[in-house]
Structure 1
Amino acid sequence: MHTYVVLAYKQSEYLEECIKSVLNQKYQSKVIIATSTPNEFISKIAKKYSLEIFINPDPGKGIGYDFDFAVSCGETPLVTVAHQDDIYDFDYSYNIVEKYNANPSSLIIFSDYYELRDEKKVYKNLNLTIKRILLLPMKIDGLSKIKFGKRLILRFGNAICCPAVTFVKKNIHTEDIFKCDFVCDVDWYAWEKLSKLKGKFTFVNKCLMGHRVHEGSTTTEIINERVRTKEDIIMFQKFWPKNIALLLNKFYIKAEDSNN
């Protein structure tokens, strides 16, 4: 029913910990590895845990294309792209499958999350608080099914944590979910695109996975370079006039600063 596609890039010191977490699940999901940077490091870990590796035949186009490739590798109805630096709690997939069975029209099913900072689990900070406020409409069943409700949680920022998301492939009807030229907001771009489709955004109001924040992460690198600001403004303009988008972005930058 469910597959974890572990998206591996170069040589992450956290890759094995991620793999251990998705193998140690209450609901026994299928686990595979997808990569655009095949190397001996990834091969050794795959061999250690008897995992199949899927190599992107067309690498180098960008993060969004790598994500779409990872989703395409999963052959089960439900697919989670597990980021190599993150971990998944024992009952993540169990809760996802349970929610799917109750909501088969879902486009995506996603959970709340905590942050991993210096090996400590952080459940509360400014960034997490803002995202939980933005996600309040998803607790109302009627709003999570309609376009207005799905877009409401995206109008003030990207409230959905990408590695916490599971895709219901049969309801999406496309393999071009993330495809774009962005380097950071590929996930926000994807949710905005999916919000226009018929189907539900199903939220599991539990912290079921840990998103690691560290100096070597791609998100931290991009935020430090302020590459993200330009993309954020583009995304805000999908929901607001330009002047309002620029104003909202000023507040959004403050939330990003908690990633430092």
Structure 2
Amino acid sequence: MTHSFVVPAYGHSRYLEACLQSLATQSTRSDIIIVTSTPCDEVTRLAEKYRARLHTHSPNRGIAHDWNMAVAQATTDWVTLAHQDDVYHPDFTARTMAAIASHPGAILAFTNYEEMLDEKLRPPSKLLFVKKALLELGFLGRSYIGRRFSKFNCLRFGCAIPCPTATINKACAPFQFDGSFRVNLDWAAWLYMCDISGGFVWIRGAPLMAHRIHESSETSAGIVAGHRVAEDRILLRRMWPAAIADLIVKSYKLAYASNQPQD
């Protein structure tokens, strides 16, 4: 099996180099591909420094288009969509690919993660605890689930599968991120994958990557702008009666404070 990291790079990120360095120093080497619709000298320099392939495209059509273009550049069996602000621990690739090899029917694998504010790791938040509890609704102590019912159950109350840790089987064509979403495009994608043949692998144990929380991140911006709440309601109403879906959305608003940098 072959694996690559694709990094959608947008604008100038002061964290991009830390991300690329973490990918280049994995204990198991993978291809690194940077994909951008906003090319600049800094991105070109970093691509050369970390021996990453650089692909530019235009025009800028939003985050879903950027992600789809990034995944499309990978020619490997498996691909991880690495977020430009995040950092991957040295054994991320090795442990992920070992887990996938143990489950030949897998189409998606993901790991646990931790959070950091700029450069400092923070203690596990209540939100991380809740996400693990939601995953157990489907996994029930297992590391692999293949039935639609089980896959669906771990997404029924929210997106508990962390997108930056997810490694996707490229054979899942015609897999696409939905351009009608700005924040929840990963949740919508995982729900799509519930309906196709193949299982989910949860790589339990210590976190294998660190997700950076800062005010200019897409998630933080989406929460502030109100896109997150609107998109939560759309997806939850696909799975629940409207009254129940709206009740779940109200409970989410309390949890979103944990994604704000000042916390």
TM-score bracket for the superposition, by shorter chain length: over 0.9
Q: TM-score, normalised by structure 1?
A: 0.94
Query: Does 2:132 match 1:132?
Result: yes
Cα distance, 1:95 vs. partner? 0.7
Q: What residue number does 2:216 align with?
A: 216
Correspondences of 1:21-60 after superposition (within 5 Å): 21-57=22-58, 59-60=59-60
Structure 2: gaps of 5 or more residues: none
| Cα separation, 1, equivalents of 2:62 and 2:200 | 26
| Cα separation, 2, equivalents of 1:23 and 1:139 | 35
Report the residue type matching 2:190 in the other structure: W
Q: What residue number does 1:185 align with?
A: 184
| Cα separation, 1, equivalents of 2:151 and 2:198 | 10
| Cα separation, 2, equivalents of 1:14 and 1:95 | 24
Query: Does 2:78 match 1:74?
Result: no
> Runs ≥4 in structure 1, deviation > 3 angstroms?
139-143
Q: What residue number does 2:198 align with?
A: 199
Q: From the superposition, tell whether residues 64 and 52 of structure 1 become closer, same or farther in structure 2 (CA, over 3 Å).
A: same
| Number of residue-to-residue matches in the alignment | 257
Structure 1 vs Structure 2 CA RMSD: 1.5
Correspondences of 1:222-233 after superposition (within 5 Å): 222-233=222-233
| 3-state secondary structure, aligned to 1:5 | strand
Cα distance, 1:215 vs. partner? 1.3
* Identity across the alignment (%): 36
Q: TM-score, normalised by structure 2?
A: 0.93
Residue 8 of structure 1 contacts residue 84 of structure 1 at CA under 8 Å; is this kept in 2?
yes
Which deviations, in whole Å up to 9, do the C-alpha atoms of 1:73-130 show, x marking residues without a partner? 1111110011000000010000111011111211110001000113122351111111
| Cα separation, 1, equivalents of 2:65 and 2:108 | 19
Query: Does 2:168 match 1:167?
Result: yes
| Cα separation, 1, equivalents of 2:246 and 2:210 | 31
178-187 vs 239-248, which deviates more? 178-187
Structure 1: gaps of 5 or more residues: none
| Cα separation, 1, equivalents of 2:44 and 2:118 | 27
Residue 139 of structure 1 contacts residue 203 of structure 1 at CA under 8 Å; is this kept in 2?
no
